[in-house]
Amino acid sequence: MLLFIVIMLYLFIFLFDYQNIKKNQSKKENTIYIIFYISSFFLLIMYVLDFQVTPLSDVIRGIIKK
């Protein structure tokens, strides 16, 4: 169900926002735009598929303790 929500969300948003990628943007701008979309999509898929990732709070705690 959550996987379905994520895929539909991205499909909807990407179609809605598609004109931004096409219109008046340089190659560099487009690259950053696409990187943001893809990375956020994969992060959400990782969450939905229940990947075991160390929480960011633990990482920061470790750095502060050092």
3-state secondary structure 17-32: HHHHHHCCCCHHHHHH
Least separation in angstroms between CB 58 and other proteins: 8
| Cβ–Cβ < 8 Å for 46, 2 | no
CA dihedral of 48, 38, 54, 62, whole degrees rounded to 10: -150
What is the nearest approach in angstroms of other proteins to the Cβ of residue 63? 8
Q: Does 64 bind other proteins (CB under 8 A)?
A: yes
User: Which residues in this chain contact other proteins in the complex, by CB under 8 A?
Assistant: 2, 5-6, 9, 13, 16-17, 20, 25-26, 28-29, 32-33, 36-37, 39-41, 43-44, 47-48, 53, 55-58, 60-61, 64
